[in-house]
């Protein structure tokens, strides 16, 4: 019924685009799998702009697409699209609105003429560069993120005479007057981070109204869906929500983890682990908060994540343990794991917690007195002993991914002998006591 | 006085049937042609114009079957 050459589909009145096939027409290269993850996965695809500006990852049946500048440590920007990525005859298709976001190109369909018109960002940039002087500005911002505002019908531009930035719509209507030292377009929220002449930062809506007071030293979007912002003031960090309510007081030395230390864990959001746990450091100790600002444990930890200082080892550092919802923590050079509910699923008694990657598969281990134990089996057995199974059948921690422990399988997909593991856990605990 | 009688009309049954059959066949042919044309128009109207795709103002060459309608599955 369907052939492999289908570039477009019309389904329930909406245009869908084949991600792989369209890429060549709009200056992108398409690849299987996820960006930076060396595993072939037919449920994921990413496209890479040939001009090196951006990569976009697409996930089957998901409405979230992840964008990041290639070869940088920038945070991933997750943008929500109206319809999930779908698969037909093994090919991944994205709805027209998703194409616009994923490929930074406009797309329209004229049904009478049966014509699809695409305009790429470089072409838009060229078009409006020629027109920007008519709007009273000297040039369009050279920042790529700001240039993406063109896709959404807005132009971030500056005036040479004042060196100030403002925002106008593509028809020339003023959105933000040209009085800011800097403006940064945030694609995931459709907002602008604005910096005034006193170098204070706030957030403005796309209608020009101020959303978050221009009073902070720095602002970053932590999670656009949850509406959480990381703010910095007087060299301290805190978290506020979109109505500027304080979630975590601005009194912490650091919020979030340097995820470049944990590349094997493939962490998308350094500030909110498993979409639920916010690590915050104060006076050299770490506290764990939920996204409402409540501490999930009263314990203060020396470290969050296990980092092996020995450069010669093949083991990976570990911050999160697969899809178990467990974060590695350490106290006095002993390591354990805390889950999103604040339960200690791995007691803080082990010498190391690490992972090993073999043929694209990452397995997690805990080490005690030179003996390695399977970390996920340990966690599964601990969850069972805590009565997690019934709850997790109803509430999956990671709905987009397979959840091994809910299915009663180990890291290799084998069925778990939970009794044996429970005994193993009991033995380990006994040993450590 | 001789009364003139009308000559009875001799009707050749073969002659009478001939024109009727021809008419029916002609009508059938016309109807068939109209139906075929109608079907062609119907198919054409369903298919619409050939899809064209332009990128940055330039029409690009795409495969003929590049666009397809599909129902929810």
Is-contact A393 A406, C-beta < 8 A? yes
Domain count, chain B: 1
ipTM score: 0.71
In a domain, A292, yes or no: no
Min distance A17 CA to chain B CA atoms (Å): 9
Closest C-alpha to A422, from A362, A368, A380, A366: A380
Closest C-alpha to A53, from A31, A36, A85, A29: A29
Domain count, chain A: 3
Which residues in B have their CB inside 8 Å of a CB on A?
A: 48-57, 60, 62-63, 65-72
Is-contact A51 A39, C-beta < 8 A? no
Q: Quick one: A321 and A373 in the same domain?
A: yes
Q: Quick one: A403 and A307 in the same domain?
A: yes
Q: Which whole number is the average pLDDT over A34-45?
A: 76
pLDDT band of A409, cuts 50, 70, 90: very low
Q: Cβ separation of A10 and B56 shorter than 8 Å?
A: no
Q: Quick one: A235 and A359 in the same domain?
A: no
A86 touches chain B (CB under 8 A): no
- What's the pLDDT score for residue B73? 43
Q: What is the interface size between A and B, counted as CB pairs within 8 Å? A: 68
Q: Quick one: A111 and A213 in the same domain?
A: no
* Structural domain span for residue A184: 131-249
Closest residue in A to B69 (Cα) is: A10
Closest residue in B to A109 (Cα) is: B53
In a domain, B1, yes or no: no
Q: Could you report the per-residue pLDDT of A326-371, keeping only the tens digit for each?
A: 999 999 999 999 999 999 999 999 999 999 988 778 899 999 988 9
- Which residues, including other chains, have CB under 8 Å from residue A201's CB and lie 6 or more apart? A193, A194, A195, A214, A216, A217, A218, A219
Q: Which helix (H) or strand (E) holds A120?
A: strand A115-120
Percent of chain A with pLDDT over 70: 87
Closest residue in A to B51 (Cα) is: A114
Q: Quick one: A307 and A405 in the same domain?
A: yes
Q: Quick one: A189 and A99 in the same domain?
A: no
A120 touches chain B (CB under 8 A): yes
**In angstroms, what CA-CA distances link A95 with A12, A16, A80, A213, A388?**
11, 4, 12, 36, 38
In a domain, A2, yes or no: no
Best probe of the B interface among A114, A127, A150, by most B CBs < 10 A, is A114
Q: Quick one: A116 and A188 in the same domain?
A: no
In a domain, A256, yes or no: no
In a domain, B5, yes or no: no
Is-contact A252 A281, C-beta < 8 A? yes
In a domain, B46, yes or no: yes
In a domain, B69, yes or no: no
Q: Quick one: A104 and A152 in the same domain?
A: no
- What's the pLDDT score for residue B7? 61
SS3 A209: coil
Contacts 24+ apart (CB under 8 A), A227-230: A228/A271, A228/A272, A228/A291, A229/A203, A230/A255, A230/A256, A230/A271
Q: Could you report the per-residue pLDDT of A151-204, keeping only the tens digit for each?
A: 999 999 999 889 999 999 999 999 999 999 999 999 988 899 999 999 999 998
Q: Cβ separation of B50 and A114 shorter than 8 Å?
A: yes
> How much helix, strand and coil, in percent to the nearest 5, is found in chain B?
50, 15, 35
In a domain, A420, yes or no: yes
Domain boundary among A62, A87, A120: A120
Q: Quick one: A109 and A138 in the same domain?
A: no
- What's the pLDDT score for residue A2? 36
Q: Cβ separation of A10 and B68 shorter than 8 Å?
A: yes
In a domain, B66, yes or no: no
SS3 A310: coil
Q: Quick one: A339 and A428 in the same domain?
A: yes
B contacts of A115 (beta carbons < 8 Å): 51-54
Q: Is the pLDDT of residue B28 over 50?
A: yes
Q: Which whole number is the average pLDDT over A310-321?
A: 84
User: If you compute the radius of gyration of chain A from its CA atoms, what whole number of angstroms results?
Assistant: 24
In a domain, B8, yes or no: no
Q: Quick one: A142 and A167 in the same domain?
A: yes
Q: Quick one: A104 and A160 in the same domain?
A: no
């Amino acid at each position: 019924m369907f052939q492999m050459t289908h570039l477009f589909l019309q389904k329930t009145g909406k245009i869908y685009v084949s991600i792989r096939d369209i890429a060549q027409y709009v200056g992108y290269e398409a690849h299987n799998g996820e960006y930076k993850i060396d595993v072939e996965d037919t449920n994921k695809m990413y496209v890479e702009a040939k001009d090196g500006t951006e990569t976009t990852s697409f996930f089957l049946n998901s409405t979230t697409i992840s964008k990041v500048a290639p070869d940088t440590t920038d945070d991933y920007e997750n943008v929500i699209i109206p319809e999930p990525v779908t698969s037909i005859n093994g090919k991944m298709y994205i709805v027209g609105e998703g194409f616009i976001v994923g490929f930074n190109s406009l797309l329209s369909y004229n049904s009478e003429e049966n014509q699809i018109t695409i305009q790429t960002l470089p072409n838009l940039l060229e078009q409006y560069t020629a027109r920007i002087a008519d709007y009273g500005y000297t040039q369009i911002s050279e920042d790529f993120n700001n240039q993406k505002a063109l896709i959404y019908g807005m132009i971030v531009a500056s005036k040479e005479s004042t060196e100030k930035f403002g925002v106008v719509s593509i028809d020339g209507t003023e959105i933000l007057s040209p009085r800011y030292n800097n403006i940064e377009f945030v694609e995931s929220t459709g907002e602008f981070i604005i910096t005034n002449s006193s170098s204070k930062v706030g957030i403005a809506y796309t209608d020009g109204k101020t959303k978050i007071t221009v009073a902070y030293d720095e602002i970053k979007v932590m999670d656009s869906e949850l509406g959480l912002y990381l703010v910095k003031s007087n060299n301290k960090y805190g978290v506020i929500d979109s109505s500027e309510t304080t979630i975590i007081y601005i009194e912490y030395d650091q919020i979030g983890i340097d995820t470049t230390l944990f590349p094997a864990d493939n962490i998308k959001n350094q500030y909110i682990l498993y979409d639920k746990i916010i690590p915050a450091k104060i006076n050299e100790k770490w506290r764990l908060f939920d996204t409402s600002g409540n501490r999930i444990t009263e314990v203060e930890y020396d470290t969050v994540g296990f980092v092996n200082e020995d450069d010669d080892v093949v083991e990976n550092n570990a911050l999160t343990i697969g899809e178990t919802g467990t974060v590695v923590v350490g106290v006095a050079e002993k390591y354990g794991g805390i889950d999103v509910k604040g339960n200690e699923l791995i007691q803080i008694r082990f010498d190391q917690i690490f992972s090993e990657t073999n043929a694209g598969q990452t397995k997690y281990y805990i080490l005690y007195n030179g003996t390695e134990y399977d970390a996920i089996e340990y966690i599964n057995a601990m969850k069972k002993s805590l009565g997690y199974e019934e709850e997790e059948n109803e509430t999956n921690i990671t709905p987009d991914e397979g959840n091994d422990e809910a299915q009663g399988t180990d890291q290799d997909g084998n069925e778990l002998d939970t009794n044996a593991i429970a005994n193993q856990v009991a033995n380990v605990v006994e040993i450590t006591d | 006085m001789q009364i003139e009688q009308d000559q009875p009309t001799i009707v050749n049954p073969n002659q009478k049937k001939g024109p009727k059959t021809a008419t029916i066949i002609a009508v059938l042919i016309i109807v068939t042609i109209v139906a075929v044309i109608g079907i062609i128009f119907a198919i054409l109207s369903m298919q619409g114009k050939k899809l064209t795709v332009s990128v940055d103002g330039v029409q690009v060459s795409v495969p003929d079957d590049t666009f397809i309608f599909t129902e929810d599955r």
